[in-house]
Amino acid sequence: MSQPINRFKADLRDIQFTLFEQLKVGDILSKGPFADWGVDEVKMVLDEVYRFSTTVTGPLNQVGDLEKCRLENGQVTTPTGFKEAWNQLYEEGWKGVSVSEEHGGQGAPTIVSIAAEELLSGSNTAFSMYPGLTQGAAEAIDQNGTEAQRALYARNLFQGKWGGTMCLTEPHAGSDVGAALSTAEKNGNGTYNIKGTKVFISSGDHDLTDNIIHLVLARVKGAVAGTKGLSLFIVPKYRVNEDGTPGESNDVTTGSIEHKLGINGSSTAVLNFGENDTCVGELVGGVEHQGMRQMFTMMNFSRIGVGVQSLGIASTAYLNTLEYARDRKQGPNVKNWKTPEAPRVPIIQHPNVRQMLMEMKAKVEGLRILIYKLAYHEDQARLLAGKDDEKADYHKGQVDLMTPLVKAYGSDEAFNICEIGIQVHGGAGFVQDYPLEQYLRDSKVFSIYEGTNSIQAMDLVGRKLGLKGGQYTQQFMGDVAQFVQEHVEHPELGEAVKRLSKAQEAIGATAMRFLTWFQSGEMEQVPLSGRSFLVMMSETVIGWLLLQAAAIAIESAKALPADHPDQHFYAGKKYAALWFANNCLPEVVARAETIALADRSPMDIPEEAFATI
Amino acid sequence: MSQPINRFKADLRDIQFTLFEQLKVGDILSKGPFADWGVDEVKMVLDEVYRFSTTVTGPLNQVGDLEKCRLENGQVTTPTGFKEAWNQLYEEGWKGVSVSEEHGGQGAPTIVSIAAEELLSGSNTAFSMYPGLTQGAAEAIDQNGTEAQRALYARNLFQGKWGGTMCLTEPHAGSDVGAALSTAEKNGNGTYNIKGTKVFISSGDHDLTDNIIHLVLARVKGAVAGTKGLSLFIVPKYRVNEDGTPGESNDVTTGSIEHKLGINGSSTAVLNFGENDTCVGELVGGVEHQGMRQMFTMMNFSRIGVGVQSLGIASTAYLNTLEYARDRKQGPNVKNWKTPEAPRVPIIQHPNVRQMLMEMKAKVEGLRILIYKLAYHEDQARLLAGKDDEKADYHKGQVDLMTPLVKAYGSDEAFNICEIGIQVHGGAGFVQDYPLEQYLRDSKVFSIYEGTNSIQAMDLVGRKLGLKGGQYTQQFMGDVAQFVQEHVEHPELGEAVKRLSKAQEAIGATAMRFLTWFQSGEMEQVPLSGRSFLVMMSETVIGWLLLQAAAIAIESAKALPADHPDQHFYAGKKYAALWFANNCLPEVVARAETIALADRSPMDIPEEAFATI
């Protein structure tokens, strides 16, 4: 076993700024369902979760990476310390921050649990997979299950007594979920006989809980082909006794676990259901053929969760890199580059290093605002439902629109940020003595699971842009336009705001182009350019939100004495926004021009011409 | 030990096209020093090296990754099979293809050995580090050593009897080589007493050879500070007896080896010289204070070598991904996306997958032409030296100019190509059952060692662009301009050639901007934008060379019957060029515009403002 050392870092000041100064979360606290929550309570929770993350899960991050999971005699063993961390997590209640009080949670706004999750997940991605999947399964049952299912399964899952999984993927059905071959046959007593093989199942088996509740997509005999014929089943590892305790085995076996690039402390299993024809499943909500819809309540939650994972790892990657750049001395300041005797300086003084650090900083903080804002839209939608349904619909629409950006741009940039961090570290970035190489490996899966980033792009351009006749897109465009109008004459940010305006125009023109392609049947152009458009839109949103943060920071700085410690922090917000506006927003415009070329070379090339072997 | 399976692939047809149809290597074969080499001999060598790479080194690639190197009792043990592979490599002579006959080599043009190296290195990056470093040390001694040193050390290194290393880096002297603290003191008998610690030494210790010859940069007592005071020493692991056999230990010990992200089969050592004050070194060439210059003969060779490593891994990553995309069925064709019963198709039919494959293909083939052309310039310089010194100087200048592009753009893109390959694989890309995750890990070091990519950028903009008053840059610009002029009306490529022309203009304008910054003392802007300019220039060169290949391919295709098997290959060359011109060349222009903004946010931000922790 390797020595447990915490290397997780977080910038709580920036988290607080985003929550309270930018998004003004205080406005919804102490009201309605959040009556028990004030600003102090939120800060206290974040302080406590930070303590937990740096003392419990953080120190286990490399331990889990090096020890990995083991499969012996059909049972997966997690790395040393994971079980204790799991128990402590649920005892202290940090996974239940926004879980309803009905299920034993603390009922906080979603945005608070998202901030907490940034810390938990960033400190140990692999460990956080287990409670993450468990909570996803709990949500799916809570929202779609019968009262009895909610009381038994959702409650035990929310409280961490049992673990949960989501079982979609099969050997020949990955992105193509509808091709699933798993079957369910009525037993005649209300239960179903489940048969099939599921692969790449995260948390598929482990030793953290007494029971594991698998949510399995399967086709009831006779149902139609494709996703519409799928139903969702609750399939426990151990059947549940009358008294609610785990009973006999339910014919679910772990065939193998994957040897992976990263998140080694998380088990990824091949699960065989019903090899002995004795696997019993219970239909979620008691209705057939609703599996995809039900799974999607979990899937959306999970996609946002991938964004949070991305943010957590990107942030600690940045802060570890910053620490290295401040400590590591190498070479003279560029102004003395011709003087061999000039004093060696910390590499943070070198312009090329600062360029890399600025990219990391601006993107980390931009992702944070994007993700927190999405969560805040979710809270607002919940608060306004039934009171002002039009406004609630606006907020829900923004959640839908932003989810693929959070998942895909977040995951691609998390990996990119880790790569930049390695580059700043030089040789130190390539070795296990520093955490960057693990962050890089762990983060690669984010662009793949919960719907690959190509699927996210198709979700954005093929579905989300056009929801309600494009209304949510127009509302988003209107929000940006309003900000531009209000800030285009800003003395420090005006030029940058003009770049934002150009990026926004580029988005509008490109969205119209996609519409034309759809209408004219030039379907192939859409997936050819979808991922580039997703980047365009993500960077426009982030450019907007970073500039909004900068405008607030500039005002706040003015109100403080020049030597106030927060002056540096506020200056950082301003320069992050300027960096992003000057370096990323012009690229949005350039991408639009490239998409407009409608290059067809990938379709025109004969399949045999890709290579001669 | 894991099961040895070869997963290395290469596209020999493309290699042959680049050598014979595009660069017309046949023109220099059978002449002067290459009198023994004809087209058939070159093809035969490549066929044989391909056989070796797929049957000897290829099968050991994952073995080495999983077994890793071990340090026990001060001695490094390499993975199973490495020693046998080493012996076979030198017995069959594939490392000596272009080594002079004086040293027992085959005297082929450099370009032939570069093509062979693409195969050797691509099949097993970690293994290839050992002969790579050995050959680098041999070259350095061959070019700078005394006759006796050449006869003893260079010869044994070229023949693989001994291994070699290059020892520059120290704990506090990485990129800042001139800060090295290792010392050398005259022993009074012509030898020196060496003391110091060197870190990150590739092949620093191993069990492949009887002796290891370390080339060590150290400062003779009293020498000036910085790089100018460094001298280069031959320091054998075992002192060499009168009869040339290895004798007693030379007080060089292996302190530890690194645990790394990748190239696990390659040992990376901390070496302690002279801990007992009995480490004897011999001055290379018998002259002091020439260490940096002498090391640079090895360093340039090594930087091009990193480009070749990048190409080798990128190419096999592409071809493995292509195979996966042809085999893996998932989802219906986009034209049937609304029909659940539509037949499942290989994912290569999906536009988003083809988009990713085209990027991989165009960049791999572009890198190949760039690197081979550089090698060809080197051969031409050698052939013309003393006959037409002006032309020889042109060719040597192009080698100098292109070396940082080959090293930095090659390494960044190799990693990028591996990442795309993982994305095409989906979940399969994240697990050890497929080679992509190892390729990704192995390739990350390329952007770091042999001078980080930031250093390459500074080498390009701070040194190479302005060599001989900018003459080599102007010659390169002239070569591109001539191609543009000749092909701008090309019926199939004309539009793409116009984009090349715009990219070239963007380079010219940006180079002038750098000049202005240098002249006005705005030094900081140079490293802020250096890496972006390096990408601009690399993509312009590659765009040009891909279009040149396409023009040749289109002509060749016309001369063949429509059903000739080469038609597909030639079509592939055309579409790769069109893809690159439509997707990468516009970005060159966009980068120039961003550089022109002269964003100073990374310098303006106060150091304390990067984060509050």
Asked if A328 and A350 touch (Cβ cutoff 8 Å), the reply is no
With residue A211 as reference, give the H or E element that holds it: strand A211-220
Contact A583 B594 (CB under 8 A): yes
Provide the 3-class DSSP secondary structure of residue B189.
coil
B134-187 pLDDT tens trace: 999 999 999 999 999 999 999 999 999 999 999 999 999 998 999 999 999 999
Question: pLDDT tens digits, residue range B46-80?
Answer: 999 999 999 999 999 999 999 999 999 999 999 99
ipTM: 0.97
With an 8 Å Cβ cutoff, are A350 and B578 in contact?
A: no
Closest CA to B25 of B288, B526, B378, B438: B378
Chain B residues with CB-CB distance to A259 below 8 A: 431-433
Chain centroid to CA A567: 31
User: DSSP letters of B414-475?
Assistant: HHHHHHHHHHHHGGGGGBTTSTHHHHHHHHGGGGTSSS-HHHHHHHIIIIITTGGGGHHHHH
> Is A423 in contact with B454 (Cβ distance < 8 A)?
yes
Out of A354, A448, A568, closest to residue B427 by CB: A448
Find out whether B530 and B463 touch, Cβ atoms under 8 Å: no
Which 3 state secondary structure label does DSSP give B332? strand
Q: Is the pLDDT of residue A337 over 80?
A: no
Active site residue B450: yes
The active-site residue out of A450, A522, A524, A587 is A450
Alpha helices in B328-406 (DSSP H): 351-384, 389-404
* Nearest one of A594, A589, A487 to A537, comparing CA atoms: A589
Q: What is the pLDDT of residues B368-381, one digit of tens each?
A: 999 999 999 999 99
CA distances from A394 to A390, A458, B49, B98, B270 (A): 6, 22, 63, 69, 60
- Beta strand B183-186 with B211-220 is parallel
Whether the Cβ atoms of residue B374 and residue B368 lie closer than 8 Å to each other: no
- Tell me if residue A262 falls in helix, strand or coil: coil
Consecutive H or E run containing B492: none
Long-range contacts of B286-291, Cβ-Cβ distance < 8 Å, separation of 24 or more: B286/B146, B287/B231, B288/B220, B288/B223, B288/B231, B289/B220, B289/B223, B289/B224, B289/B228, B289/B229, B289/B230, B289/B231, B290/B144, B290/B231, B290/B232, B291/B217, B291/B218, B291/B227, B291/B230, B291/B231, B291/B232
Residue in A268, A330, A582 nearest the CB of B175: A330
Residue A1 has pLDDT above 60, yes or no: no
Evaluate if residue B2 carries a pLDDT over 70: no
Nearest Cα residue to A198 out of A161, A157, A232, A152? A232
Chain A residues touching residue B533 (CB < 8 angstroms): none
Among B306, B314, B366, B424, which Cα is nearest to B541's? Answer: B366
- Between B30 and A407, the more confident residue is A407
Amino acid A601 reads S
CA distances from A493 to A488, A553, B465, B590 (A): 7, 12, 35, 22
Q: Do B423 and A452 touch (CB under 8 A)?
A: yes
Q: What pLDDT does B538 receive?
A: 98
pLDDT at A297: 80
Please provide the distance, in angstroms rounded to a whole number, between the alpha carbons at the two ends of chain B.
45
Q: Which residues of chain A make contact with B586, given a CB cutoff of 8 A?
A: 590, 593-594, 597
Measure in Å the smallest separation between the Cα of A394 and chain B Cα atoms: 29
Chains A and B form CB pairs within 8 A to the count of 318
Residue of chain A whose Cα is closest to the Cα of B530: A352
Residue type, B437: E
Task: Give dist(CA B538, CA B480) in Å, integer.
Answer: 13
Given CA atoms B602, B605, B607, B613 in this order, what sign does their dihedral have? negative
Set of chain A residues whose Cβ sits within 8 Å of the Cβ of B433: 259
Distance CA A426, CA A447 (A): 25
Between B37 and B296, residue with greater pLDDT? B37
pLDDT reported for residue B410: 98
Would you tell me how many other CB atoms lie within 10 Å of the CB of residue A513?
A: 18
Residue B516 CB-density burial (10 A; 0-12 exposed, 13-18 middle, 19+ buried): exposed
DSSP structural state of residue B409: I
Q: Is the Cβ pair A431, B225 closer than 8 Å?
A: no
Under DSSP, the state recorded for B243 is T
| Pairwise CB contact (< 8 Å): A179 & B578 | no
The partner residue sitting opposite B610, judged by closest CB among A261, A322, A586, is A322
Give exposure, B34-44, as e/b (b: 16+ Cβ within 10 Å): beebeeebbee
Closest Cβ–Cβ partner in B458, B578, B602 for A579: B602
At B259-274, the pLDDT tens digits run 999 999 999 999 999 9
For A311, phi then psi, to 5°, come to -60, -45
Q: Is A354 close to B457, i.e. CB distance below 8 A?
A: no
Which residue from A minimizes the CA distance to B580?
Answer: A601
Of A225, A334, A433, the CB nearest to B523: A334
Are residues A352 and B527, on separate chains, in Cβ contact within 8 Å?
Answer: yes
A324 vs chain B: nearest CA distance in angstroms?
12
> How high is the pLDDT of residue B340?
78
pLDDT category at B31 given cuts 50, 70, 90 is confident
A608 CB neighbours in chain B (<8 A) are: 568
How close B25 gets to chain A, by Cα (Å)?
Answer: 21
Residue type, A258: E
Among A431, A448, A603, beta carbon nearest to B258: A431
Cβ neighbours of B318 in A, within 8 Å: 611
In tens, the pLDDT along A87-119 reads 999 999 999 999 999 899 999 999 999 999 999
The answer to whether the Cβ–Cβ distance between A357 and B175 falls below 8 Å is no
Is B602's CB within 8 Å of A326's CB?
Answer: no
Q: What is the mean pLDDT of chain B?
A: 96
The answer to whether B357 contacts A318, with C-beta atoms less than 8 Å apart, is no
Average pLDDT on A166-192 reads 94
Q: What is the pLDDT of residue A2?
A: 56
Nearest-CA neighbor of B444 among B213, B261, B182? B261
Task: Give the mean pLDDT of A478-497.
Answer: 98
- Find the helix or strand (DSSP H, E) in which A161 lies: none
State the nearest Cα–Cα gap between A326 and chain B, in angstroms: 9
Which of A599, A607, A610 lies nearest to residue B582, judging by beta carbons?
A599
Choosing among A352, A567, A578, which should be mutated to test the B contact, i.e. which has the most B CBs within 10 A? A352
Percent of chain B predicted with pLDDT > 70: 100
Lowest mean pLDDT among A31-35, B73-77, B223-227, B570-574: A31-35
Which carries the bigger pLDDT value, residue A173 or residue B410? Answer: B410
What pLDDT is attached to residue B341?
A: 84
How far A276 CA sits from the closest chain B CA (Å)?
A: 28
CB < 8 Å to B602, chain A: 351, 354-355, 357-358, 575, 579
CA-closest candidate to residue A540, choices A501, A572, A573 = A501
Q: Best of B258, B337, B601, B604 to disrupt the A interface by mutation (most A CBs within 10 Å)?
A: B601
* Alpha-helical segments (H) within A105-183: 110-123, 125-144, 147-149, 155-158
The average pLDDT across A514-543 equals 96
Q: What is the pTM of this model?
A: 0.98
Secondary structure (3-state) at A273: strand
- CA–CA gap between residue B370 and residue B364 (Å, rounded): 10
Angle between helices B471-487 and B525-558 (to 10 degrees): 40
CA distance A337 to A343: 10
- Residue count of chain A, please give it: 613
Query: What pLDDT, on the 0 to 100 scale, is given for residue B376?
Result: 97
Q: Cite the DSSP H helix spans in A328-435.
A: 351-384, 389-404, 410-425
Best of A270, A601, A604, A613 to disrupt the B interface by mutation (most B CBs within 10 Å)? A601
Residues 6 or more apart whose CB falls under 8 angstroms from that of B607 comprise: A326, A348, A349
Do the Cβ atoms of B261 and A440 come within 8 Å? yes
CA-wise closest residue to B329 among A31, A174, A78, A613: A174
Query: Residue ranges of the alpha helices (H) in B1-124?
Result: 12-16, 39-52, 61-67, 82-92, 110-123
CB contact under 8 A, A444 and B14: no
Is-contact B533 B457, C-beta < 8 A? Answer: yes
Distances (CA, A) of A356 to A314, A365, A526, A541, B449: 13, 14, 32, 21, 18
Interchain proximity B599–A607, CB inside 8 Å: no
Is the pLDDT reported for residue A584 higher than 90? yes
Under the banding of pLDDT at 50, 70 and 90, the label for residue A296 is: confident
Domain boundaries, chain B: 469-613
In chain B, what are the helix, strand and coil shares in percent, each to the nearest 5? 60, 15, 25
Tell me which of B118, B288, B413, B450 is the catalytic residue. Answer: B450
Contact A594 B605 (CB under 8 A): no
- Residue B540's SS3 state is helix
Confidence of residue B1 (pLDDT cuts 50, 70, 90): very low
Q: Which one of B65, B526, B610, B613 makes the best mutation probe of the A interface by having the most chain A beta carbons within 10 Å? A: B610
A599 to chain B, closest Cα gap in Å = 6
Which residues contact residue B335 at a Cβ distance below 8 angstroms, ignoring those fewer than 6 apart?
Answer: A523
Looking only at the bridges linking them, the beta strands covering B183-186 and B162-167 are unpaired
Give CA separation, A138 vs A158, A545, B544, in Å: 6, 32, 56
User: Using one digit for the tens of pLDDT, what is the confidence trace for A121-162?
Assistant: 999 999 999 999 999 999 999 999 999 999 999 999 999 999
pLDDT digits (tens, 9 = 90+) for B429-484: 999 999 999 999 999 999 999 999 999 999 999 999 999 999 999 999 999 999 99
Contacts of A51 (CB under 8 A, 6+ apart): none
Among A51, A56, A61, CA closest to A437: A61
Find chain A residues with C-beta within 8 A of B316's C-beta.
none
Give chain A positions within 8 Å (CB) of B575: 601-602, 604-605, 609
Distance from C-alpha of A354 to C-alpha of A352, rounded to nearest angstrom: 5
User: Taking residues B95-121, what's their average pLDDT?
Assistant: 95
Spell out which residues of chain B touch residue A454, defining contact as CB-CB under 8 Å: 352-353, 423
Name which of B260, B447, B602 is nearest A355 (Cβ-Cβ). Answer: B602
| CB atoms near residue A335 (< 10 Å) | 12
Token pair for residue B320? 């493995």
Is A457 in Cβ contact with B444 (below 8 Å)?
Answer: no
Closest CA–CA distance from residue A469 to any residue of chain B (Å): 20
A555-558 contacts: CB < 8 A, separation 24 or more?
A: A556/A21
